[in-house]
Structures are given as C-alpha cells and as structure tokens.
Amino acid sequence: MENEFIQLEGGLDTVEGFFTLGVHCGIKKVNNDLAIIFADTPAAAAAVFTTNRVCAAPVEVTRQNLKKNGHFQLVVINSGVANACTGQRGLEDAITMSEIAAREFGLSDPSLVAVASTGVIGDFLPLDKIEFGIKKVKEFYPQTHSSRETARAIMTTDTFMKERAISFQLYGQEVHLAGIAKGSGMIRPNMATMLGFLLTDAAVYPDSLQKALKTAVDVSFNRVTVDGDTSTNDMVLLMANGKCGKTRIDENHPDFPRFQAALTFVCQELAKDIARDGEGATKFINIMVRGAQSENDARTIAFTVAESPLVKTAFFGQDPNWGRIMAAIGRSGIAVIPDKIYISINDNPFVEDGMGTKKMTRNELQSVIQNKDLEIVIELNQGNAEFNVWTCDLSFDYVKINSHYS
Amino acid sequence: MENEFIQLEGGLDTVEGFFTLGVHCGIKKVNNDLAIIFADTPAAAAAVFTTNRVCAAPVEVTRQNLKKNGHFQLVVINSGVANACTGQRGLEDAITMSEIAAREFGLSDPSLVAVASTGVIGDFLPLDKIEFGIKKVKEFYPQTHSSRETARAIMTTDTFMKERAISFQLYGQEVHLAGIAKGSGMIRPNMATMLGFLLTDAAVYPDSLQKALKTAVDVSFNRVTVDGDTSTNDMVLLMANGKCGKTRIDENHPDFPRFQAALTFVCQELAKDIARDGEGATKFINIMVRGAQSENDARTIAFTVAESPLVKTAFFGQDPNWGRIMAAIGRSGIAVIPDKIYISINDNPFVEDGMGTKKMTRNELQSVIQNKDLEIVIELNQGNAEFNVWTCDLSFDYVKINSHYS
C-alpha cells in the first residue's frame, strides 16, 4: 500500500489552495511561536481532541466551532503559552485570538477559525504579541508561504520539525495530503501535548473525514508514548478543501480505503517522528505484543512496558536487562503465563519459556541493544491478538529538560 | 496513638527470642548479601506477597510453606540475585536454599523456613555462596547478632538501612515490635521490590496476625511509589513468637486495636523511609488527595500525580510548575471538575479555582518547593473521600543508577 504513495518534499506547501506561514511574535525569546494556515475557501474539517479532563481553552473553542460549521478556513496556532487552567478569561482570550485572526484575514465569521496553543500551563495569552504575529503573517500573504516555518512555529522542546507530504491517485486523479506535527515530552495515547495539522486537496465529506481521522489517529498518534503523561492541549486537525476532485467522496466510495490508507500512512510517519524526538531520546523503540487473548490485553502490556522507567533507563544504558521487561509484563494486571513468554529484540532471542535465552551470550545481547532502532517483540503464546506502541528511552536529558521548563 | 509507643534503638535486636545476623557471602562484590532470622521456637507468621504475575521462586516457596504451617522458625534472605524468571530450576534452588538453612540450624522440617531474594532477574542462585553464607552466620550463633548487619544484607541500591523498633503495652504487659525493610527503585503499591521483615514477642494467633499485617501494609507499603514499577520478589513477613504474653490474642481481644496501631506505625515509618530513599531522591513528597467522591477516585489521582515523570522532574528542578499537577489530575480518568480544584504545598496556596493563585509571586512559590519535605494537598471539592501516597522526585541519579544496573 505504502508504495502507492509518492513522498514529496515541501510539507504543507504541496497541497493546493492553502497558505501557511510561521513567524516569531515574541511569546518565546527566540524561534517561531505563531503560525497561520489559511484556505482559499472554507474546507471540510475533522478533529480529534485531548481526553484530559483539564482541557485548555483553545481546545474548547475549536471543538465548538467545528461542531457549528463542519468547516474551517483559518487556523491560528501559538507556542510558548498553553492557555490552559486559565478559567473564563482563558476562554475569552481564545475567542479573541480567533476574532483577531478572522478580522486580519477578512473572514466575517470567526467560527470558521480554529485556534490551538501549546506551552506552559497557567499563564494567560499575551494577546498583543499574538495580534502582532498575525499581522506579521498577513504582511507576507500570499506571496511568502512556508510549511517549514509553520512546522517550526508549533515546536516546544522538539529538536526537529516534523512534516510529511505525499501524492496519490484518488478517483482517477492525483491528490495531495500533507501534515505537520509537534510532540516531544508529555506524549501519550489519547493525544498528549501533541499538535498535528493535516491538509489535503482531496474532496471528502466532513463526516467521512472525521471517521477517517479517528481511524488514522487510533493507529498512529495514540500508539506513541514518551513518558506516560498526557496534556491539556492536544489536537489533530484535518482540512480537506476539495481543490482536486469534482465530486466529494464519502466512506462508501470505492476509493475511500485508499484515502484512509494515505491518511494513516502520513499520521504514522509523523507519530514515529514524535517518538524518535521524545525528550532526551537516544533510541526509537517499537514494542509489539503478540499472542494475547485480546487486543486490549496486548495494549495494556505494550503500554506498561513502554512506560516503565526501569525498562526505559535500561535501554538508555544499553543494559540487556530483560528481567525488567518481564517484571513490567507481570505487573500489567493481565493474566499472563510467564513460562510461555518469548521476547526478541531485532529478531534476536532474549527470553525463551520465560527465562533468559541460552543461545546468546551477554555480550551478544548487549551488542543487539546498541542499535538506535529497537524492535521488541513480546510473544505471549496465549491467543492471536496483538498491539504495538512506539516509544523512546529515558535519558539524563529527559530529566534535564523537564526539571527546568516553566 | 503514636505517643503510646516508645521508639527504641536496636531494631530487630530488641525483640526477645529472635537471633538475626547479616554477612557477606560473595554474591555481591562487597557489602552484606545474606541474612538469617532464627527464632528459638516456631513463631506464628503472616505474610503479604507481590501481585506481579511474574513471581519469583522464593515467593512461591515461602507462600507454600506458610500455607502448610502458619508458622516459621527461620528466614534466609539473599540480595544480589532475585531468583526470578528461573523456571523449574529456580524453584528447586529456592527449596535447596531452605533445606541448607534448616540443616545448618538443626530444623528437621524445612517448611518452617521462609526464603526471600532480591536483585537481578534471570540469574540462577549461586547456591555454593549461599551455603557458605549460612554456615558463616551459624558460626556466630548465638553470641553475635546484629539487626543492623541484617538490615544491610537485604539492601540493593538503597543508600541507608531501614530499621525501626518500638515497645508498647499489650494486655498489661510490655511487648516489642521491630522491623527492617529495603526499597529503593521499583517501589510501587502492591509490594514492589521491597522486602520487609517484622518481628514481635507479642502473642497473636496466625489468622489475626495475617489480618493485622494486611491492614498495616495497605496503609503503609502500598502507599509508596518511586517509579511506578513493581517487582517480582516482594514480600513482607511478620513473625510473632509470643515470648511476652501468657495467652494469644485474636482480633476480638480488646487490645487487638492497640497491636494493630503499633504494627501500622512501624510499617508506615519503614514505608516513609523507603520513599525518602527512592533511587536518586532529593525530596520526600506526600501527596494527599481530598474531597474526592470515593477513596478509589482519590487513590487513582494520587498515584497518577505521584508517578508522573513530568511532575517528578519539576520537583527535582524546584520548578513551581503546578500546571503539570493539574494535567496529571486531568488525565487520571477521574471525572474531576477543574474549576473546583485547590492545590497547596506545605500549606501555601498554588492553585485556586483551578487557576494559579494570585496570592503568591513566582519567587514565593519557588521558595516553597525548595523544601526537602513537601506536603502536596489536592482538594477536589467533590466529596469527602481522601487518599495519600508517599513518593520522591525524579533526578539525574535515578537515570544513572538504573541505566547501568544488571
């Protein structure tokens, strides 16, 4: 399936009918901190939001606006301040942010604007700086656009910007799909301090777009965990302006699975980049649990192992301490049968029948885990269900980054 | 209630009728690694074991022996090797360990022996060294005993030995109760790599002893979390030899609550020492959740906050980033009402009505969290249930210790 997609340079700039740019407006000392995505015409929209009960003001405003219209024409995003735990004033500020953007870009209806914020919790939005930033972007419109500057503007502790773009055939026509994302610490399933913005020029009905996004997020962003923490501000937004496509498709259209696959592919690539860029990460780790009695069992074990600080520090230290993986499996609450467990890393046996393998020396095990990319397969031999999670190791730098953040 | 107990120096040595000693037998390069507790006569026993499904061989052997007799006369403990994930041979080794100890101390029934191990998972017990250690202790018996050397012999990455002893009045007589424990990393409720051995010369029936221990563990060791990981080897063992007491008491005896309170007190003191000595810990943190709709809600929130790497690194960095506490509360899965939440640290307001307090400056907040002991009170204002957890911060040293362990 992957082969049907042509990967492109240029990120969001490859999608027709959208202007995007990021600038520095002064919320952060340096680096871009404000981004705009502007569509020529209102675009069908879909979104998935944080499940954190402490949910930031921009999440509430964007959710309401989406419910009202099913379409967005403008997205305004800031980094540096999360506008979370800011009460009624926070809600008013998020609405004001959408109104400023609507005014500057000539939209009469501010509910066609999506707003998103990421950064420190508890501070109020510096609306003067945000207004300055929006006006700055407007000055460049429409000549100077840049997916890259946009992707940079949504970063917090990310060390590299994340963007992907593909083209593929849909209803006999070439269409484009692209996305940017931010992640780093506090990443966890159910959309933890991660932002993702996806654009396509394909023509899809909003309801079907929402279904496709939900499906894609479940097997991509919701499979990433860096530290088990989840945030107040997460949002993945997808806009489809239909520039390439005479008629809109829905989920019954024969080409819908192809659209779904393309969206899933882009989301998974961005999700893996997020795990790869986990705060202080030195390794990218895919944990695959197989042979479980249910997908839920496999999921529980995968996340318990992926979020175990002892497992994660052992990988950072290149210590082939498979006992910690066994201990994490054992405390997951799932009724595993220890003697049936097999564990391999990059296709090398580590655990057989619940015990350390006799096929490899300690030195050999150690050389396996010196790889930067690790594929850990946990075979439970109890059933046919499986689930995988992407994560990273836990390093000194994680502690360094997170002990002095706010 | 606490005032009724007289705290004593001397740990396990203060309890009549028990001999205890720890020695170095060579499992670890340096430091004690083998301990014996020997009672003059079989003592009523109670125990609480790990809930980890991957459960070490000594746990299984001790559980079976306790079920058979309800009494123990001898305990043999080693550190350095956990004898976990060692299959059938591990079970046989644990039984052999009990048989060697029984033989050396002249017991005809090896099922009167409890065995415990802690250390690296996956290696087999070095039975020759264990036999050497048991014989070494026997040479000192009965003249040279030492609670302190015993407490040292069960340590792994612990930085200080943990022992407590009290005397108190029971059925009109002075009795003694003492305990030693080990903890450090991998500590979590449900008995995570922690060992605890408690002795008393009070006379209590085994069934009542078990009830008292279960109650005490629930409000002590099960409220400690260092990193959310739990181990394969945990065990808390209580032996009551009845040397002080003409008749045994059960849970219907009017003085049973006093015995319960004494046991709970000793367990709580040991549990707090374990949190204080969490791997790399620089702070002791008590997280109290109040005003929840149920104790289970309060417990879930308390553990979610206590185990959040982002909260723990912020405390290490002395960063008054209360937003991370709010985010952890929000993702706990409990239906909190953010606007009703109050958070104080050492009686200073940090969050009011779900927002940062206006009563303190950032500098003032920062000076509060510079204390080594932090009492965080999270008031949900939704009900009357509460739950507290003891934990520590997450430092560079945690990563250092755990990235090079096995």
CA distance A177 to A151: 15
- Per the CB < 8 A criterion, the answer to whether B59 and B235 are in contact is yes
Coil, helix or strand at residue B402: helix
- Per the CB < 8 A criterion, the answer to whether B217 and B255 are in contact is no
Q: Answer whether A403 sits within 8 Å of B316, measured CB to CB.
A: yes
CA nearest neighbour of A392 among A301, A303, A221, A278 = A278
Model confidence over B3-14: pLDDT tens digits? Answer: 589 999 999 999
CA nearest neighbour of B273 among B406, B162, B383, B349 = B162
Coil, helix or strand at residue B190: coil
Q: Is the pLDDT of residue B108 over 70?
A: yes
CA nearest neighbour of A32 among A152, A184, A135, A132 = A152
Interface check A314 vs B, CB under 8 A: yes
- What chain B holds in terms of domains, given with CATH numbers, is 2-276 (3.60.70.12), 284-403 (3.10.20.340)
Mean pLDDT of the residues in chain B:
91
Q: Is the pLDDT of residue B352 over 50?
A: yes
Tens digit of pLDDT at every position of chain A (406 positions): 445 899 999 999 999 999 999 999 999 999 999 999 999 999 999 999 988 888 899 999 999 999 999 999 999 999 999 999 999 999 999 999 999 999 999 999 999 999 999 988 889 999 999 999 999 999 999 999 999 999 999 998 888 999 999 999 999 899 999 999 998 654 443 334 789 999 999 999 999 999 999 999 999 998 886 555 567 888 999 999 999 988 899 999 999 999 999 999 999 999 999 888 877 788 899 999 999 999 999 999 999 999 888 788 888 888 888 988 998 898 888 999 999 999 999 999 999 999 999 899 989 999 999 999 999 999 999 999 999 999 888 777 767 766 765 5
φ, ψ of residue B281 in degrees (nearest 5): -65, 135
Model confidence over B158-177: pLDDT tens digits? Answer: 889 999 999 999 998 999 99
Q: Is the pLDDT of residue B188 over 70?
A: no
Interface TM-score (ipTM) > 0.90: no
Interface check B358 vs A, CB under 8 A: no
CA distance A142 to A106: 13
pLDDT (0 to 100) of residue B176: 97
φ, ψ of residue A29 in degrees (nearest 5): -65, -50
Q: Is the pLDDT of residue B191 over 50?
A: no
Coil, helix or strand at residue A223: helix
CA distance A256 to A240: 14
pLDDT (0 to 100) of residue A212: 97
pLDDT (0 to 100) of residue A227: 53
Coil, helix or strand at residue A64: helix
User: How distant is the Cα of A254 from the closest Cα of chain B, in angstroms?
Assistant: 39
Q: Considering only residues A104 and B398, tell me which one the structure prediction assigns the higher pLDDT.
A: A104
A316 contacts in chain B (CB < 8 Å): 399, 403
CA nearest neighbour of A232 among B312, B307, B331, B322 = B331
Q: B376 has which bridge partners?
A: B287, B345
Q: Which one of B184, B303, B313 makes the best mutation probe of the A interface by having the most chain A beta carbons within 10 Å?
A: B313
Interface check B124 vs A, CB under 8 A: no
CA distance B62 to B112: 9
Q: B287 has which bridge partners?
A: B376, B389
Token reading at B57 = 């061989």
Average pLDDT for residues B283-301, to the nearest whole number? 95
Q: Which one of B398, B402, B404 makes the best mutation probe of the A interface by having the most chain A beta carbons within 10 Å?
A: B402
A307 contacts in chain B (CB < 8 Å): 228
Q: Answer whether B406 sits within 8 Å of A323, measured CB to CB.
A: yes
Give the E-state strand segments of B231-334 in sequence order: 235-240, 284-292
Coil, helix or strand at residue A246: coil
Which positions 292-311 of B are in contact with A (Cβ < 8 Å)? 307-310
Token reading at B238 = 């209580």
Interface check A80 vs B, CB under 8 A: no
CA distance A182 to A233: 12
Q: Answer whether A398 sits within 8 Å of B399, measured CB to CB.
A: yes
pLDDT (0 to 100) of residue A211: 97
pLDDT (0 to 100) of residue B271: 92
B399 contacts in chain A (CB < 8 Å): 313, 316, 394-396, 398-399
φ, ψ of residue A78 in degrees (nearest 5): -125, 150
- Per the CB < 8 A criterion, the answer to whether A336 and A300 are in contact is no
Q: Which one of B157, B226, B305, B310 makes the best mutation probe of the A interface by having the most chain A beta carbons within 10 Å?
A: B310
Helix (H) or strand (E) holding A236: strand A235-240
Residue A384 CB coordination number (10 Å): 11
User: How distant is the Cα of B176 from the closest Cα of chain A, in angstroms?
Assistant: 35
Q: Would you call A304 a catalytic residue per the annotation?
A: no
Nearest CB partner across the interface for A54, out of B186, B321, B326: B326
pLDDT (0 to 100) of residue B186: 44
A192 contacts in chain B (CB < 8 Å): 331
Helices A309-316 and B396-403: crossing angle, nearest 10°?
A: 70
Find tokens 């239909």 and name the residue. Answer: A242
Q: Which residue of B has its CA nearest to A232?
A: B327
pLDDT (0 to 100) of residue A192: 43
Coil, helix or strand at residue B406: coil
Residue B64 CB coordination number (10 Å): 13
Q: A373 has which bridge partners?
A: A284
CA distance B88 to B97: 14
Interface check B81 vs A, CB under 8 A: no
**Read out DSSP for B293-313?**
SSHHHHHHHHHHHHT-HHHHH
φ, ψ of residue B398 in degrees (nearest 5): -60, -45
3-state helix, strand, coil in chain A (%, to 5): 35, 30, 35
Q: Is the pLDDT of residue B102 over 90?
A: yes
**What are the C-alpha distances in Å from A193 to residues A47, A157, A181, A349?**
15, 11, 11, 35
CA distance A305 to A345: 14
Coil, helix or strand at residue A385: strand
- Per the CB < 8 A criterion, the answer to whether B292 and B383 are in contact is yes
* Catalytically annotated residue among B193, B200, B304, B357: B193
pLDDT (0 to 100) of residue B3: 55
Nearest CB partner across the interface for B309, out of A86, A122, A229: A229
Write down the H helix ranges in A193-335.
Answer: 206-218, 256-276, 295-306, 309-316, 322-331
Nearest CB partner across the interface for B310, out of A185, A307, A329: A185
pLDDT band at B331 (very low <50, low <70, confident <90, very high): confident
Nearest CB partner across the interface for B54, out of A185, A320, A338: A338
* Catalytically annotated residue among A157, A193, A264, A300: A193
Q: B342 has which bridge partners?
A: B379
pLDDT (0 to 100) of residue A125: 97
